[in-house]
A = this chain, B = another copy of it.
Amino acid sequence: MIAVMVDPTPIDIGAEYAAIAVDGAGGIATFAGLVRADDGVTALTLEHYPGATEAALVALAEAAAARWALSAARITHRVGRMVPGDTVVFVATAARHRAAALEACAFLIDRLKTDAPFWKKETLAGAERWVEPRDSDDAAAARWRP
């Protein structure tokens, strides 16, 4: 059971959690990425490539489900304007055994950072700046290469 969603509405963690808790799962791993107020950031605006982004997330979730024995995988990504403390992304995996759920969850968030078309713009001190890609994200994604 794979589900991906890209949407400007706030992510409802309770609803996400209820959706991943499928029959038979012995372990559920989740990761939430939140907007941080680093350097005085007051807002974060996320842009995506409609259609291509959702397809990239489905491809990632399918890759995770094939590599680990998952009973379910969900990726929910918010777009539009957010403020510090808001949840940008919520990844959840369910599996019979905990190692599969934990590893697949880490894989999905690492690869999502480099493989899915999203762009972040920070607002700080009234000005806006586009976030630059980070080498550490490339390194984190690369460790999952077979």
B13, B31, B98, B140: the one within 8 Å of A109 (CB): B98
Name the B residues within 8 Å of A99 (CB-CB): 140
**7 residue pairs, one from A and one from B, having the closest CB atoms:** A28-B32, A26-B36, A30-B30, A102-B106, A14-B14, A29-B31, A13-B17
Give the interface size class of chain A.
20 to 34
Q: Which B residue sits closest to A88, measured CB to CB?
A: B26
Number of copies: 2
Q: Which B residue sits closest to A113, measured CB to CB?
A: B98
Q: Which B residue sits closest to A32, measured CB to CB?
A: B28
Does A132 touch B at the CB level, under 8 Å? no
Q: Are B106 and A31 in contact (CB under 8 A)?
A: no
Q: Which of A23, A26, A105 has the most C-beta atoms of chain B within 10 angstroms of its own C-beta? A: A26
Name the B residues within 8 Å of A25 (CB-CB): 34, 36
B24, B27, B31: the one within 8 Å of A98 (CB): B31
Q: Shortest CB–CB separation between residue A93 and chain B, in angstroms?
A: 10
Q: Are A31 and B85 in contact (CB under 8 A)?
A: no
